[in-house]
A and B are shown apart, each in its own frame.
Chain A
Amino acid sequence: MSLEPQELDELTSKIGRKPTSTELQIVAAEWSEHCSYKSSKKHLKMLPMKGPLVISEKGYDSGVLDVGDGYVITAHIESHNHPSAVEPYGGAATGVGGVIRDILSTGTRPIALFDGLRFGDIEKDLQARWLFKNAVTGIADYGNCLGIPTIGGEVEFDECYSNYALVDVAAIGFGKKKNLIKNHAKKGDLVVLLGGSTGRDGIGGSQFASDSLESENRSAVQIPDPFIEKLIIEAILEARNQNLIHAMKDLGGGGLSCAVSETADALSIGIEMDVNKVHTRESDMNPDEIMVSESQERMLIVTNNEKLKKLQEICKKFRIACSVIGHVTSDNMMHVKKGKKTCANLPTDVVANATLLDRPSKKPAYLENIEKEKKLKPILDYTKMMMKFIASPNIASKIWVYGQYDHEVGIRTTVKPGKDASVLRLDNGKFLAAKIDGNPKHCYVNPREGVIGCFEEACRNVVCTGAKPIGMLDHLQFGNPENPEIFWTFLESLKGITDFAKYFEIPCVGGKVSLYNETPSGPIKPTPIIGILGLIDKNPLYSKKIIAGDCLIIIGDTKNEMGGSEYFEYIHKFIGGKCPIVNFQESKTNMNLVLDVIGKDLLKTAHDCSKGGLAVAVSELCMTHEIGCNVSLEKVPGPKLDVDRVLFSESHSRYLLVLEKKNLKKLEELSKKSKVSYKMIGVFGGENIRFNKENKHVIDLRVDKAQKTWFNSLRELVHG
């Protein structure tokens, strides 16, 4: 673990002397891409972060939104890609642990988890299957032990993640506004390290995350211990209730180095600490190791002398270790000692603020001809193709995954996973809907429009529950930023997110950038993930049973936008074509109409139309409700298209609405008034899912057979 030569020169000139070995370790951790955001920070400023509901406070690790009546929700997203790629079980579990502590550090209780998982082609690749299986188990074990429900997420497979894994975890917290920790500290306050002991595990993790994964010979593996985490949560919340915490930070990437320097820098204070006071797992650890160890389940707390005794009593009660490792000074220095000997003494602003880079960017060459479509082999039997399609890993039901997660513990989950978005009940009578979405296939074909699509899709998902989007989390995952072509895709994505967020006035309340995601065969596809939080003032739309005679309506146009579609990539093995583009105006009108009709209680259910297109979206409704449907493809609004385009185009801003016939007229009136593109395209009934054109069945599937395949294929694939 070391600094680049020019960074070493910079450090030397900034502090006016040669750094000590401990100083080098501290700075190398803090100046790593993972901790310093040196490639991205300059650009991230373009995101809109303010809004009427956003509460910002210095030093917060998670975003805070005011949901009224004295309550707040907090949200954060993290990834644990590199650790999960070498040890999926521990890597995924400790990722969950980290994001939970970010929620906790604002003084709110974590109430729900999400995870976004991406692996290689599990149909062919045994390594990908092993990673998938173990990452899911890791998340399940950790969340289930803590009693925090995992209520949603997404899973995707793509060859670009071969021998690698993307494990994104997001968490939501809930609490009273008056209980939020107002980070502050003054001279003489005490710095306390609370939780698990510091060991040699995970040494150099953040540096590791900032390198490409080349060899397996790494030791940056962390072992999860959910039971300590649970005790920490309860101890911290009790300390919060007794007002014992002045400031708080979770120990994540970079360990003590980052937590101490960032706390001091954010609060404009200095911290003097002694490594001998840190409770360690092994007796012979040297100061460098203690400062950069990324042992899990630890929190840094600033309190004062009078409150310390009470804090120690709480820790004793929960049987977690806590040691006073130092105190607050007024000199803005991070002073690390071992007994009387000084190991490091650095200005905190130097440590916490790496020089930001302005990396060059260049439009990737591959994008030149990407929109050109190749001639596709004609599909002779769409029914047969459709059965194969719904069994494919990306389309198949993810019940094998979310079935392993306890998604009901805490009894807040009123809409459960497997739907468009999950919904949580809040204590003030409102409801919170949340969803994360990504689409690397679209983002590869068009980084800007692709991410706007993810953003809109996540919004569509929460809108389908009746929620109005109030906040957004972004997680930007790309390859090596030193490659100008990759950096260009990063910038394009960021601009896309910014434009959409500004137009819809959805503030970015938190995010993460993860770079250097490289596999042995090259960079991953651009994989930005968008998380959306939506608020429901009254009641969410709970799906009602669809019965024969109910009507199927589509809102929004179906266009010739096949680039990056599942149909092109899975069925035709073709990467390319024109990526779906969101028309902001149309998107807003459609979204408002859907919210309006849900508010008026006209619908039985609403479902967004995305991956796999109309054919998959309608089939999902049928399979979930165990009823057939007759769909007329001629009626689908939009330009005149070939049958495969109508079925499988992944155009955005489309919603499927199901309602009783008697409500049709009211819906028609509202749609006309808002001038949306809308059509009744089918009627439910029977035992077959049929897509018809010119009185012929283009697709004719038995619902029960399709459902069985859809539900079971992922499990069968994993368990062989």
Chain B
Amino acid sequence: MATFDVHVIIENKPGISDPEGETILNDLVLKGTHSVISKIKTAKMLKFTIKEKDKKSAKTKVQEICDELRIYNPMVSKVTIDVFDA
């Protein structure tokens, strides 16, 4: 068994509006002089530390937990899971 860090990024699916990201873009970033920025999206990241036999099963386990506990709503959110050695 090894220890892994699993990062779960939850964001709105593409095409669904993101009021928080849009507000940060329009009311903070573009109000300065940062016109090179064209888009900001907000997301939530959960960092899991998990003991598993390998990276693959660490990822699967975390995915299962998120699905089962409804940590995100599959109707709205896109989920990206990355695994790192702890």
Smallest distance from the beta carbon of A205 to chain B beta carbons, Å? 13
Check A201–B15 contact: CB distance below 8 A.
yes
Q: Kindly report which residue of chain B lies nearest to residue A225, judged by CB atoms.
A: B19
Task: Determine whether B46 belongs to the interface, using a CB cutoff of 8 Å to chain A.
Answer: no
Check B76–A87 contact: CB distance below 8 A.
yes
A219, B16: Cα distance in complex, Å: 9
Which stretch, B1-9, B55-63, B67-75, touches the partner chain A? B67-75
Cβ contacts under 8 Å, B35 to chain A: none
Q: Kindly report which residue of chain B lies nearest to residue A126, judged by CB atoms.
A: B70
Check B15–A223 contact: CB distance below 8 A.
no
Cβ contacts under 8 Å, B26 to chain A: 319
Cβ contacts under 8 Å, A221 to chain B: 16, 75-76
Check B75–A216 contact: CB distance below 8 A.
yes
Q: Kindly report which residue of chain A lies nearest to residue B26, judged by CB atoms.
A: A319
Task: Determine whether A196 belongs to the interface, using a CB cutoff of 8 Å to chain B.
Answer: yes
Cβ contacts under 8 Å, B74 to chain A: 216
Check A223–B23 contact: CB distance below 8 A.
no
Q: Which one, B17, B23, B73, B76, contacts A281 given CB within 8 A?
A: B17
A197, B13: Cα distance in complex, Å: 17
A216, B15: Cα distance in complex, Å: 18
Cβ contacts under 8 Å, A199 to chain B: 15-17
Q: Kindly report which residue of chain A lies nearest to residue B12, judged by CB atoms.
A: A223
Cβ contacts under 8 Å, B75 to chain A: 86-87, 216, 218, 221
Smallest distance from the beta carbon of A584 to chain B beta carbons, Å? 46
Q: Kindly report which residue of chain B lies nearest to residue A87, judged by CB atoms.
A: B75
Interface size class of A (residues with CB under 8 A): 20 to 34
Cβ contacts under 8 Å, B70 to chain A: 130
Task: Determine whether A4 belongs to the interface, using a CB cutoff of 8 Å to chain B.
Answer: no
Cβ contacts under 8 Å, A228 to chain B: 19
User: In B4-53, which residues have CB < 8 Å from any A CB?
Assistant: 12-13, 15-19, 23, 26
Chain A interface helix/strand/loop/mixed: loop
Check B19–A227 contact: CB distance below 8 A.
yes
Cβ contacts under 8 Å, B19 to chain A: 223-225, 227-228
Check B17–A90 contact: CB distance below 8 A.
no
Check B23–A227 contact: CB distance below 8 A.
yes
Cβ contacts under 8 Å, B17 to chain A: 196-197, 199, 201, 223, 225, 281, 295-296
Smallest distance from the beta carbon of A699 to chain B beta carbons, Å? 40
Cβ contacts under 8 Å, A281 to chain B: 15, 17
A224, B12: Cα distance in complex, Å: 12
A169, B22: Cα distance in complex, Å: 27
Smallest distance from the beta carbon of A61 to chain B beta carbons, Å? 23
Smallest distance from the beta carbon of B82 to chain A beta carbons, Å? 25
Task: Determine whether A200 belongs to the interface, using a CB cutoff of 8 Å to chain B.
Answer: yes
Cβ contacts under 8 Å, B13 to chain A: 219
A221, B16: Cα distance in complex, Å: 8
A218, B18: Cα distance in complex, Å: 19
Task: Determine whether A282 belongs to the interface, using a CB cutoff of 8 Å to chain B.
Answer: yes
A200, B17: Cα distance in complex, Å: 8
Smallest distance from the beta carbon of A387 to chain B beta carbons, Å? 32
Q: Kindly report which residue of chain A lies nearest to residue B15, judged by CB atoms.
A: A200
Known contacts A196-B17, A201-B16, A225-B17; is-contact A90 B76 (Cβ 8 Å) = yes
Q: Kindly report which residue of chain A lies nearest to residue B20, judged by CB atoms.
A: A225
Check A223–B73 contact: CB distance below 8 A.
no
Cβ contacts under 8 Å, A201 to chain B: 15-17
Smallest distance from the beta carbon of B74 to chain A beta carbons, Å? 7
Smallest distance from the beta carbon of B21 to chain A beta carbons, Å? 11
Most buried by A among B70, B75, B76: B75
Smallest distance from the beta carbon of A610 to chain B beta carbons, Å? 35
A529, B17: Cα distance in complex, Å: 32
Q: Kindly report which residue of chain A lies nearest to residue B73, judged by CB atoms.
A: A87
A21, B16: Cα distance in complex, Å: 24
Smallest distance from the beta carbon of B63 to chain A beta carbons, Å? 17
Smallest distance from the beta carbon of B31 to chain A beta carbons, Å? 11
User: In A262-291, which residues have CB < 8 Å from any B CB?
Assistant: 281-282
Smallest distance from the beta carbon of B72 to chain A beta carbons, Å? 11
Q: Which residues of B contact A (CB under 8 A)?
A: 12-13, 15-19, 23, 26, 70, 73-76
Cross-chain pairs A/B with CB under 8 angstroms, 30 sampled: A86-B75, A87-B75, A87-B76, A89-B73, A90-B76, A130-B70, A197-B17, A199-B15, A199-B16, A199-B17, A200-B15, A200-B16, A201-B15, A201-B16, A201-B17, A216-B74, A216-B75, A218-B75, A221-B16, A221-B75, A221-B76, A223-B12, A223-B16, A223-B17, A223-B19, A223-B76, A227-B19, A227-B23, A281-B17, A295-B17
Q: Which residues of A contact B (CB under 8 A)?
A: 86-87, 89-90, 130, 196-197, 199-201, 216, 218-219, 221, 223-225, 227-228, 281-282, 295-296, 319
Other than A87-B73, A197-B17, give 8 A-B pairs with Cβ distance below 8 A. Answer: A87-B76, A130-B70, A199-B17, A200-B16, A216-B75, A223-B17, A223-B18, A225-B19
